[in-house]
Amino acid sequence: MTTAYIGQPIPRIDGRAKVTGDAKYAYEHSVPDLAYGFVVSSSIARGNIRQIDTTAALQLPGELRVLTHENTPRVAPKGEVVDDAKSPGVPFIPLQSDEVLFSHQPIALVVAESFELARYAASLVRVEYEAHDHTTDLGAVMDHAYGPPPRSELLPTLKSRGNAEKALAACATQIEFECRLPAEHHNPMEPFATTVVWEGDGKLTVHDKTQGVQNVQGYLCSLFGYSTDDVRVLSPFVGGAFGAGLRPQYQAFLAVLAVRALKRSVKVSLTRQQMFSLHYRPLAWQRVALAAAPDGKLAAIVHEAITGTSRFEDYNEQIVAPWSGMLYQCDNVSLGYKVAKLDLNTPGDMRAPGAAWGLYALECAMDELAVKLRMDPVELRLKNYAERDQNEHRAFSSKSLRECYRLGAERFGWSRRTPDPRSMREGEALIGLGMATGAWDAFQVPGSARCVLNADGTATVSSATEDIGTGTYTVMTQIAADTLGLPIDRVTFTLGDSSLPLAPLEGGSFTVASVGPAVKAVCEKVRERVFTLARKVENSPLAGVSLEDVTFADGRVRLRSDPSRAVAFTDAMRAGGLTAIDEETSTEASPRRKDASCYSHSAVFAEVHVDEDLGTIQVHRVVSAVAAGRVMNPRTARSQVMGGIVWGIGMALEEESVIDQAFGRFMNHSFGEYHVVVNADAHDIDVIFVEEQDEIVNPLGAKGLGEIGVVGVAAAIANAIFHATGKRVSDLPITLDKLM
């Protein structure tokens, strides 16, 4: 039996629990004496509540309480509100005043004996407003945009160099690309929900949909004055999140508020419509100007962007930096980024935040430049290939983008592309072939893990991380089994519990790169203890040898020079009189990373078919070649990239949260009207992994795959549509009315 699992396509460990229904999600937990909450949402975008009449609701039998700003205690955190994904500014906390800051803001919570009763009672709550003028149109406030305060030390700063405007003016070949991009909502299948169990002694068990159980724990403790011993947050299964769960959402606060008021357990779930009151990918305006010599060598890059934020927080993301200053070799680069206040909720991180929008503009601009130069788009990118990160003036830890271009183009059949727009046809369809480059940060942040090896040869490894569908259960089990040298069915990995060792938020494609090294390190500590015990076994074949002389496989410590000479873990522990070996450890970012730039890269190729008469678009084929370090599990990795490609198709052609400016409200707040990609929209998708040997990025050599799969896809499709039709539609989504 093999115990070499890293790099193998192991099926999902949690797959059976999910398909059989054994996996319980946040709203599915039932306890005795459970009450149900339903949120009442505001119908205006800005103003004040003059009166909120709960009389009719309170007269219903079985209705327990209506919580409003009039009867809710004010929370007064002693320090800052804990939220690892927060933005600069003052976070929104529900029911703390009569002020309305955005449409669909929660303004009351109705609690009843059943969900149906709570929902009906909520419909009886009458609200009178004093409405104020609102602005939800980014174009109307761009003149008031400003440079936001830095949001996180993880995010790069803007670094211009040379004199881009002068170089731009001096060049005969130049292009300008401008685009306006809509808000997009995350729309995971599982709505946000929280079940709070009142334990009777003032302690709470919180089942929450989140991407960070310890973040939710810290958030609730900071607001309500609990100690971490009083609040345990559990989230072992998450039905998708895509960044929406990085910040604690308001249903968790409201559920705890109700529990404190009623001294009984309460569950609260948001409706699909209320999911549109949460965070979203921000509205954005971008302008990219490029200048090049006749041979295609870039002389200047100008990239500026403005995105919307709320009136109470300064949300910002890396929409311009580092992409336009890092991806292509150029001595003259000007970068600018501002935000503008809108009467909407604060935007939030949505899969590949910043890069998804920023690389769309840059890569469409590069395609425009290739057209003007009459140069092959791949050739243009290779002509300006950056061997070093020019933003940070240092080498990459690894970069196999050239190989991505080569393998992706070869698999896709790029050589059959004819250069002129509208030059390829198949029956009634115009054929377009387009491509784009993708990049994403390869972060590593601190993480911790615990390993308990039992005398029966089984092990439990744990960390307070999450699995939002990415395969964390599986990959961490592989790392643990591989490192310990145990059969994979003898290893259990547990997560999604705030009482487990410290873990970062599940986001940014850094879970494997951050928690994985901690799992590896703690398992190494355990096996060192096993080795020490194995040497002391009576007549041990390992007596007198060093750790470097042995291997760990099949639950045994084996002599490297003669694997038949071995001591079983169980025998070593029995001889040592131990029933368990229990270790915990923490890891931080490798110090070698300070002298290197760490990124994943991709080359995306797309083929579209456009009906010449109707303007309908079909993404016929996508090939994505990805260089993301060492791939832990090709099966789950491919799933991640495929999911990203599907997202990119939606970005390009379908997704748009439409605002009625008169009401300041997202109008298409349902799956019937907010269009996402379905099976009929996703055709042939091919993923190529260009594995990299990277000893700098982290001890596993892994870079993460959650974001790199989506960046570049929308641009590749947009470029393919231009090639098919000769018409450049810059504003997303590209719908047939824009194309016609």
Cβ(357)–Cβ(302) under 8 Å?
A: no
Is a pLDDT exceeding 80 seen at residue 155? Answer: no
pLDDT average, residue stretch 335-341: 97
Percent of the chain with pLDDT over 90: 96
Catalytic residue among 184, 304, 692, 707: 707
pLDDT average, residue stretch 340-359: 98
Is a pLDDT exceeding 90 seen at residue 154? Answer: no
Residue 733, strand partner residues? none
pLDDT average, residue stretch 58-71: 95
Is a pLDDT exceeding 60 seen at residue 1? Answer: no
Q: Looking at residue 157, what is its pLDDT?
A: 80
Give 152's pLDDT tier (boundaries 50, 70, 90). confident
Residue 313 annotated to the active site: no
For the stretch 356-374, pLDDT in tens is 999 999 999 999 999 999 9
For the stretch 494-548, pLDDT in tens is 999 999 999 999 999 999 999 999 999 999 999 999 999 999 999 999 999 999 9
For the stretch 180-196, pLDDT in tens is 999 999 999 999 999 99
Please report, for residues 10, 444, 653, 684, the alpha-carbon distance to residue 463 in angstroms, rounded to integers and kept in the order given: 20, 16, 39, 37
Minimum mean pLDDT range among 33-37, 73-77, 347-351 = 73-77
Q: Which residues of 259-276 are buried (b: 16+ CB within 10 A; e: fewer)?
A: bbbbebbbbbbbeeebbb
pLDDT average, residue stretch 422-448: 96
Q: What is the mean pLDDT of the chain?
A: 96
Alpha helices in 156-212 (DSSP H): 164-170
Q: What are the residues whose beta carbons fall under 8 Å from the beta carbon of 54, sequence distance 6 or more?
A: 66, 68, 108, 125
Q: Looking at residue 590, what is its pLDDT?
A: 87
Please report, for residues 35, 121, 146, 633, the alpha-carbon distance to residue 115 in angstroms, rounded to integers and kept in the order given: 8, 10, 44, 41
pLDDT average, residue stretch 63-73: 95
Cβ(579)–Cβ(455) under 8 Å?
A: yes
Can you list the domains of the chain with their CATH numbers?
15-21+445-588 (3.30.365.10), 31-133+189-241+245-277 (3.90.1170.50), 144-174+288-342+351-443+596-739 (3.30.365.10)
Q: Looking at residue 2, what is its pLDDT?
A: 58
Longest alpha-carbon distance in the chain: 86
Q: Tell me the three state secondary structure of residue 124.
A: coil
Is a pLDDT exceeding 90 seen at residue 479? Answer: yes
pLDDT average, residue stretch 12-33: 96
Query: How many Å apart are CA 71 and CA 68, to the nearest integer?
Result: 6
Give 79's pLDDT tier (boundaries 50, 70, 90). confident
pTM tops 0.95: yes
pLDDT average, residue stretch 599-620: 96
Q: Looking at residue 12, what is its pLDDT?
A: 97
Q: Looking at residue 78, what is its pLDDT?
A: 78
For the stretch 390-409, pLDDT in tens is 999 999 999 999 999 999 99
Query: How many Å apart are CA 726 and CA 591, to the nearest integer?
Result: 49
